[in-house]
Amino acid sequence: MNNKRVIIIGGGIAGLTSACHLIDAGLDVTLFEAAPKLGGRSYSFKHEKSGDIIDNGQHIMMGCYEETIKLLKKIGSFDKLSIQNELRVVFVSRDSQEHYLHAKSSHYPLNLAKSIFNYNALTLKEKIRVVDLFVDLMTIEEEDILDLSVEDWLKKEHQNENAMKDFWEILAIGTLNSRIKDASAAVFVNILKRMFLDGNEATKIILSEAGLSDLFAIPAKRYIEEKGGNVLTSERVLSVSVNNSSFERIVTSKRVISDAEFLVSAVPLYALSRIMDNNNSFKKIHSTMQYSPILSVNIWLKANVFKEKFYGLLNSKIHWLFNHKSYITLVTSAAFNLVEKSENQIINEIISELSDYFPVFSHDNMLSYKIIKEKRATFIPNSESIMLRLNMINEYDNIFIAGDWTEPFLPSTIETAVISGRKAAERIMEKYSNS
């Protein structure tokens, strides 16, 4: 396979992952990225006023991100991760009370049940029903709840409004970036199984001590180039010409390529539907996809009054607070009610909300701020999109599709992108290993 040439379109996590696997297999790899930077929706940049490196959006990873961890070990950036010794999350309610979800590391899975019974945001009856539902997860098949939203499923499982608001909703919105009335229960159940039914290691929360570009894009590019691959930025692929079931020619903004054997498309669906303009299945899926925004508000502080590395906020327009010492990052998922507002309106609402939860914080403690709006951050994993993606057929012999939207029962996350990139590479290696 040493002389096989592969073109990869898209320098996000999926494309970089495919490139790393294919270069390991000895293929001739060239990756094209339209933007001047790599990483797709996972990148970092320098904040000019403070000099700090900040991410375009804060990411939480978990121990169940097994493929992401393998990739980071491969490209040499695993040591930039901060991994919990055991699951521990501090949730704060509007009355400033702290509620701990803390699973001691021994006696799995009883430790998870105990952590829920010690979680004092719920009543005893609510805790029992939450634990019962976790037990039931082992027998629930995702295909059986395809038509249910997360909200409908939780109601069907006798989870009351308070349990949904102060437990399930923050899990669902954080993992799916979708409102529970919109997202499919099948995707949520699959995620819950991965997070809580695969042992203690899977439940641990992982944060990066470095910017996302230093964690993924920069070491991946170095890895690919050191093994002889090419990574080209600021070069857009304009079209892919297909004859029968194979591509014949790729036109970029700078060249025409007609000597490649394989193509990996790792661009967002809306971009793919433009490049492959004669593929009706991609257009159909794209036409049904709905997207959800994420709002990140970075606030630089005169004095840091926060003790924890991160907090979850219950029943708040702010879902998470991440503590970076000199500044904090406040994240709102499915931020439909905020992203269309002006920056002045947003910062005023956010500071008012933050002061309600943390009275030690006040407007006077703010030095500066940076608001980042990702209006199309992730797709909404609803039932209709799952069915279309389940039935998606790859019509091509030498084109392979990757991207966080390609896994029907997974949400749009870094882990999903890594999985899809690895699978695309493996399909190439498997199909053509004997050619």
Q: Residues 296-332: pLDDT tens digits? A: 999 999 999 999 999 999 999 999 999 999 999 999 9
pLDDT above 90 as % of the chain: 86
Q: How many CB atoms lie within 10 A of CB 303?
A: 8
- pLDDT-wise least confident of 207-216, 274-283, 324-333: 274-283
Contact 99, 220 (CB under 8 A): no
Backbone phi and psi for residue 85, each to the nearest 5 degrees, phi listed first: -70, -30
Flag whether pLDDT at 387 surpasses 80. yes
Contact 327, 368 (CB under 8 A): no
Q: CB-based contacts of 362: which residues, under 8 Å, 6+ apart?
A: 355
Q: Which helix (H) or strand (E) holds 23?
A: helix 13-24
Q: CB-based contacts of 384: which residues, under 8 Å, 6+ apart?
A: 288
- pLDDT-wise least confident of 345-349, 354-358, 385-389: 385-389
Flag whether pLDDT at 295 surpasses 50. yes
Angle in degrees, CA 311, 315, 318, rounded to 5: 50
- The two tokens of residue 193 are 């199984």
- The two tokens of residue 405 are 């939207």
DSSP state of 373: E
Confidence bin at 86 (pLDDT 50/70/90):
very high
Mean pLDDT, the chain, whole residue set: 94
Residue 273 vs residue 377, higher pLDDT: 377
Unique residue bearing structure tokens 């009543």: 123
Domain locations in the chain? 5-46+210-289+381-432, 112-197, 291-379
Q: How many CB atoms lie within 10 A of CB 373?
A: 19
Dist CA 134 CA 171 (whole Å): 13
Unique residue bearing structure tokens 């004092």: 120
Dist CA 261 CA 433 (whole Å): 13
Flag whether pLDDT at 137 surpasses 60. yes
Confidence (pLDDT) at 323:
97
Dist CA 11 CA 14 (whole Å): 8
Flag whether pLDDT at 109 surpasses 90. yes
145-182 as b/e: b if 16+ CB within 10 A = bbebbbbebbeebebeeebbebbbbbbbbbbbbbbbeb
Residue 417 half-sphere exposure toward CB, CA atoms < 13 A: 26
Backbone phi and psi for residue 332, each to the nearest 5 degrees, phi listed first: -120, 115
Confidence (pLDDT) at 277:
63
Task: Let me know how many helices (H) and strands (E) the chain has, helices first.
Answer: 16, 20
Contact 90, 97 (CB under 8 A): no
Dist CA 347 CA 171 (whole Å): 25
Dist CA 247 CA 258 (whole Å): 9
CATH topology of domain 291-379: Polyamine Oxidase; Chain A, domain 2 (3.90.660)
Contact 116, 101 (CB under 8 A): yes
Dihedral, CA of residue 4, residue 280, residue 277 and residue 377, to nearest 10? -90
Backbone phi and psi for residue 381, each to the nearest 5 degrees, phi listed first: -80, 75
Dist CA 90 CA 4 (whole Å): 51
Confidence (pLDDT) at 435:
60
Q: How many CB atoms lie within 10 A of CB 3?
A: 8
Closest CA to 58 of 357, 342, 372, 366: 372
Confidence (pLDDT) at 351:
96
**Helical axes 169-176 vs 185-196, angle rounded to 10°:** 100
- The two tokens of residue 255 are 């060249």
Query: DSSP characters for 49-112?
Result: TT--EEESS---EETT-HHHHHHHHHHT-GGGEEE-SS-EEEEE-TTS-EEEEE--SSSTTHHH
85-113 as b/e: b if 16+ CB within 10 A = ebbbbbbbbeeeeebebebbeeebeebbb
Contact 300, 45 (CB under 8 A): no
Unique residue bearing structure tokens 């990869």: 8
Q: What is the CATH number of domain 112-197?
A: 1.10.405
Confidence (pLDDT) at 11:
98
- pLDDT-wise least confident of 37-46, 351-360, 423-432: 423-432
Flag whether pLDDT at 268 surpasses 60. yes
Confidence bin at 1 (pLDDT 50/70/90):
very low
Size (the chain), residues: 435
**Rg of the Cα trace of the chain?**
22
CATH topology of domain 5-46+210-289+381-432: FAD/NAD(P)-binding domain (3.50.50)
Residue 62 pairs in a beta bridge with 205
Say what the pTM is.
0.95
